[in-house]
Amino acid sequence: MPSSFRRRLKPVPPRLPLHDDPGLQPERTSLAWGRTLLTMLTVSALFLRWLPYHGVFVGVPVAISLATALGIWTTQQRRYRRSASGLKSGRIQADALSTLWLGAAVFLLGALGLYTVIFLPSGNSGS
């Protein structure tokens, strides 16, 4: 029998959790950001419904909401690891930049939505 069949791999020990928080605070925060990401994708789909009525300008809020969702998705792992290691070390800093960025994006989406509904002419005025 060839030696490669006889060789056994050493068992890999399971990964230890990054923190000892019984309340699972980093997991709850990660789930909340995941729900926010899903909300941004839903908002972009709702803006797409305006496309036949308000034209290509609707692409601006769609792009902003998709960029926000992409930003949340790409920073999710880093945010979780920082929160979990902060629990372990006893120092957690709030992620103020992400929260401000999300707040600005939501404000801008709301303002663009109002502008679209109030000032842009509807392409389908017959119904």
Interhelix angle 59-89/25-48, rounded to 10 degrees, is 180
Spatial separation of the C-alpha atoms in residues 119 and 127, rounded to whole Å: 18
Spatial separation of the C-alpha atoms in residues 115 and 106, rounded to whole Å: 14
pLDDT in tens, 6-40: 666 777 766 655 656 555 777 888 899 999 999 99
- Mean pLDDT calculated for residue range 104-116: 97
Give the pLDDT score at 92: 78
- Pair 38, 56: CB distance under 8 Å: no
pTM, entire model:
0.74
pLDDT in tens, 79-101: 888 887 777 777 777 789 999 99
